[in-house]
Amino acid sequence: MSPEALDGRTAFISIAYLGASIAFILGLRGLTRPETARGGMQLAALGMIGAIAGTLVNHDIVSYGWIFVGLALGTLLGWPLGMRVAMTQMPQRIAISHLFGALAATLVGIAEYTHHVWGGHELGRFTALALGFEVLFGALTVSGSFMAFGKLHEILPGRGITFRGQNAVNLTIFVSAIGLLGYVVFAPTTSWAFFAMAGLAFLAGFMMVLPIGGADMPVVVSLLNSYAGLAAAATGFALGNAVLIICGALDGASGLLLSVLMSKAMNRSFSNVLFGAFGSAKPALAAGAKGEMKEVTLEDAALALRYAKNVVVVPGYGLAVAQAQKIVGELAALLEGHGNEVRYAIHPVAGRMPGHMNVLLAEANIGYEKMIEMEDINDRFADVDVAIVIGANDVVNPAAQRDPSSPIYGMPVLKVELARRIIVLKRGKGTGFAGIENDLFTEERTSLLFGDAKATLQRLLTELKTL
């Protein structure tokens, strides 16, 4: 922007964009504490409204009809996606919004490209590179997010789909897309190469998520978040717009950080998640399961909980599937009424996306100060009177620490086996998602309650009320 172009409107736009950038950074900083988080998001929303107002006075805009159609339609469709979606559906909700975000970036990229090339405007190599990146990452994220949404929402098979030579095929598609991008930069006006690149990137998104199973989705969803951010940043480079670059960088950094955290929590490398197809691996028939699983009566379990000074609830995804969070909250309130301490041990991948379990428990009116992260509670399990494991398996498997031959060896787990007494609520006698035997269930101090988590908890609650 040259100084002589700095009239009133342009100044207003610049200030609105600068204000938005600051609001977004402060908004994210608000998320570092639960008390400041809401205020931060309100500030970010104000920044966004300011940026939209600033954009609406842009000199290039000649008609507002279609802009308002888009804004109205988006509000109409966005409202139910905000109000009606259940907290258990958060992972697929996030996946679909990656799709919308990436689609917006891709379409803007295509519109800008055709405007330059077909409209006879000059297209520099740098802008061609930025537009190419935008459409490459955008198209990849659109189809990848669609696949992730489909798998999480169970309209597509959740298990990974693999075939011979898959990695080679995927690599070929991806390298070809990058090659075409290079060609577009070399000869910016070759539109066939631009569209072929977009098509290949779109295909690559499908192929990338195809082999990945349900349990690995937290990493994929985080990674797609990062890609959507990179597409937005590339838009900023193409349009010479700093607020887009800043938001894209924030988004990209956030997604990348979360994917690294999730990979660590699963003891897997990025490439292993993307190319390893863990979800479809044959279950390892470990020699494990040395002892017998001991069943306990409801009465005994209720007595143990009633007279335990401190209880730790270990929720797994099974809890969310059974929709049993509210009953856990009631059970905990009852125990707390007797003066027992109840806390919750949260494994980073207990849900289907980062932080998912915390949201599900918060929805059941459980205070966040009782949700303890894995690193903080692991040293304290030895002082726990009763640990009650609900629908969790691999995240509490001691083999991850003890048995180098176990497929999950090295994965950080909750050291539930150190507790004085362990009660496990389990649907049946089978193995967990990864198909691995769990020695915790045959431990001396472990007793099991079989059946649907919700029904079992309901009966346990009734039993406790009679004590």
Instruction: Show which residues are catalytic.
Output: 394
Give DSSP secondary structure letters for 164-219: TTHHHHHHHHHHHHHHHHHHHHHSTT-HHHHHHHHHHHHHHHHHHHTT--GGGHHH
Please give the residues from 219 up to 248 whose contact with another protein meets the rule CB under 8 A: 221-222, 225, 228-229, 232-233, 235-237, 239-248
In degrees, to the nearest 5, what angle opens at C-alpha 259 toward C-alphas 372 and 74?
A: 100
Provide the minimum distance between the beta carbon of 458 and another protein in the complex, in angstroms, as a whole number: 20
Q: Determine the size of the site formed for another protein (CB under 8 A).
A: 117
Please give the residues from 182 up to 221 whose contact with another protein meets the rule CB under 8 A: 221
| 114 makes contact with another protein (CB under 8 A) | yes
How many Cβ atoms from other residues are within 10 Å of residue 169's Cβ?
12
Provide the minimum distance between the beta carbon of 313 and another protein in the complex, in angstroms, as a whole number: 14
Binding segment for another protein (CB under 8 A), chosen from 171-179, 271-279, 349-357, 447-455, is 349-357
Provide the minimum distance between the beta carbon of 86 and another protein in the complex, in angstroms, as a whole number: 11
Binding segment for another protein (CB under 8 A), chosen from 68-76, 151-159, 438-446, 457-465, is 68-76
Binding segment for another protein (CB under 8 A), chosen from 80-88, 167-175, 203-211, 414-422, is 80-88
Nearer to another protein, 247 or 277 (CB): 247
Provide the minimum distance between the beta carbon of 88 and another protein in the complex, in angstroms, as a whole number: 12
Provide the minimum distance between the beta carbon of 286 and another protein in the complex, in angstroms, as a whole number: 30
**DSSP letter (8 states) at residue 292:** P
| 63 makes contact with another protein (CB under 8 A) | yes
- What CA–CA distance (Å, rounded) separates 52 from 319? 42
Nearer to another protein, 102 or 460 (CB): 102
Cβ atoms of 112 and 236 within 8 Å: the answer is no
Chain-centre distance for alpha carbon 234: 23
In the list 88, 92, 108, 317, the residue contacting another protein (rule: CB under 8 A) is: 108
- Pick from 62, 186, 92, 168: which is nearest to 132 by CA? 186
| 309 makes contact with another protein (CB under 8 A) | no
3-state secondary structure of 84: coil
**Token duo for residue 211:** 């082999």
**Token duo for residue 214:** 């349900």
Own/partner contacts of 264-267, CB < 8 Å, gap of 24 or more, are 264/412, 265/347, 265/348, 265/349, 265/411, 265/412, 266/216, 266/218, 266/219, 266/349, 266/411, 267/400, 267/408, 267/409, 267/410, 267/411, 267/412
| 368 makes contact with another protein (CB under 8 A) | yes
In the list 5, 6, 77, 382, the residue contacting another protein (rule: CB under 8 A) is: 77
Cβ atoms of 282 and 162 within 8 Å: the answer is no
Provide the minimum distance between the beta carbon of 43 and another protein in the complex, in angstroms, as a whole number: 11
- What CA–CA distance (Å, rounded) separates 24 from 18? 10
How many Cβ atoms from other residues are within 10 Å of residue 415's Cβ?
22
Provide the minimum distance between the beta carbon of 428 and another protein in the complex, in angstroms, as a whole number: 29
With residue 386 as reference, give the H or E element that holds it: strand 386-390
Which residues fall within 8 angstroms of residue 78, CB to CB, at 6 or more apart? none
In the list 295, 299, 336, 383, the residue contacting another protein (rule: CB under 8 A) is: 336
Please give the residues from 16 up to 55 whose contact with another protein meets the rule CB under 8 A: 17, 20-21, 24-25, 27-29, 31-35, 37-38, 41-42, 44-45, 48, 51-52, 54-55
Strands 386-390 and 371-373: unpaired
| 382 makes contact with another protein (CB under 8 A) | no
Cβ atoms of 134 and 234 within 8 Å: the answer is yes
Please give the residues from 421 up to 440 whose contact with another protein meets the rule CB under 8 A: none
Nearer to another protein, 152 or 296 (CB): 152
Nearer to another protein, 189 or 442 (CB): 189
Which residues fall within 8 angstroms of residue 281, CB to CB, at 6 or more apart? 407, 434
- Pick from 191, 185, 206, 249: which is nearest to 99 by CA? 206
**Token duo for residue 175:** 């390298």
Provide the minimum distance between the beta carbon of 73 and another protein in the complex, in angstroms, as a whole number: 5
Provide the minimum distance between the beta carbon of 379 and another protein in the complex, in angstroms, as a whole number: 17
In the list 105, 200, 209, 395, the residue contacting another protein (rule: CB under 8 A) is: 105
In the list 71, 169, 171, 467, the residue contacting another protein (rule: CB under 8 A) is: 71
| 62 makes contact with another protein (CB under 8 A) | yes
In the list 12, 100, 270, 450, the residue contacting another protein (rule: CB under 8 A) is: 100
In the list 5, 11, 79, 405, the residue contacting another protein (rule: CB under 8 A) is: 79
| 157 makes contact with another protein (CB under 8 A) | no
